[in-house]
Copies of this chain bind each other. A is one copy, B any other.
Amino acid sequence: MTKPIPSVDQRMPTHGGVLRAAAKVAELLPQTPLLPLELPGGETVWCKVESLQPVGAFKIRGAWHRLTDLTDGERATGVVAVSSGNHAQGVAWAARRLAIAAKIVMPNDAPAVKLAATRALGAAVVLYDRPGGEDRDVVALRLTSASGATLVHAYGDPWVIEGQGSSGVELAAQMKCLAGGPPTRVVTPCGGGGLASGLVLALPDAEIVPVEPEGWDDVARSLASGTIQRVAANAPKTACDALQTPATYPINFAVMASRGLKGLSVSEAEVRAAQRYAFSHLRLVIEPGGAAGLAALLVGKVPADGRTAVILSGGNVDPAAFAAVISEV
């Protein structure tokens, strides 16, 4: 009954799959807002506000596309997901809606709001010891082996990639209406590369810029070197819990490399400044990882013009952590 962790061997995600995911998501959820934002230099960029999804992050898209494509037999045996919190909530939300049993493997240092929200959505939460070095994929494999449940990987899954890409389909339609044309550049937070690879497939003519926290820039180094690199064992602490992935998967890497993406990284202070900018200029609560793309734009690491978009990918942050960020001068 053991299912392998989905990989490039399973199937490749496609542009057609992204469109199919977008059609399914459009029946389920209203488009997330696209808001103009003036940068300090005077340029206006367009913010795709995925933090306003029902679970506070874009992850609901991939989870919905994946779970709705399960067979009746697969639905009956349930799903397992591994996540620091946003994918967890996305899978739990979709599973509850489809009456599928969900077990979610979460790190014991995940933000309390994310743990509580995942449980509130009816999922069974299984903790693993992230600081202690326990491998989350091993925990997940143990659970799927025991139950025959389907693993819904947070990024290394073709359905998940296509589902996340549905945000790019919405973005293109909204920018045609509001910005005079589809985006020529999309700056996005990047953890494992699920969203970035989905955007690549969704937007064949746009430059996609994945942004990672400093020290967690394995995707940027992988793209630069041509082979998948891992985050160093002694990687620095980062507030961007949603972007703490040890390495991208072959399926994501193949898509991102096929378009010659270049990644970059931002510091913790730059991320906090972006959270404060979104607070004061957009009145939005953005979690650290969700603000990484905006951080790169604010410090000029990526050029900006009226056809540049940025994904504000999530807003699940503990109140004390957010209070500290906005109180910092």
Contact = CB atoms under 8 A, between A and B. Distances in A.
Interface of A: 30, 32-36, 51-52, 54, 56, 113, 178, 276, 279-280, 282-286, 315-316, 319-320, 322-324, 326-327
26 contacts: A30-B33, A30-B34, A30-B178, A33-B52, A35-B52, A51-B283, A52-B282, A52-B283, A52-B284, A113-B280, A276-B319, A279-B285, A279-B319, A283-B285, A283-B286, A283-B315, A284-B284, A285-B285, A319-B326, A319-B327, A322-B323, A322-B326, A323-B323, A323-B324, A323-B326, A323-B327
Nearest to A286: B283
A51 B326 CA distance: 18
Contacts of A280: 113, 319
A34 B52 CA distance: 10
Query: Which of A113, A280, A315 lies at the interface centre, i.e. has the most chain B CB atoms within 10 A of its CB?
Result: A280
Given A52-B284, A283-B285, A323-B326, 7 more contacts: A35-B52, A36-B54, A52-B282, A279-B285, A283-B316, A319-B326, A322-B323
Contacts of A322: 279, 323, 326
A320 B326 CA distance: 7
Nearest to A282: B52
Contacts of A51: 283
Contacts of A319: 276, 279-280, 326-327
A199 to B, nearest CB: 21
Nearest to A37: B54
Nearest to A323: B323
Nearest to A322: B326
Given A52-B33, A322-B326, A327-B319, A283 B284 contact: yes
Query: Which of A35, A284, A323 lies at the interface centre, i.e. has the most chain B CB atoms within 10 A of its CB?
Result: A323
Contacts of A178: 30
A209 to B, nearest CB: 24
A324 B282 CA distance: 20
Query: Which of A178, A283, A285, A316 lies at the interface centre, i.e. has the most chain B CB atoms within 10 A of its CB?
Result: A283
A283 to B, nearest CB: 3
Contacts of A30: 33-34, 178
A12 to B, nearest CB: 33
Contacts of A326: 319, 322-323
A113 B286 CA distance: 19
A315 B322 CA distance: 16
Contacts of A36: 54
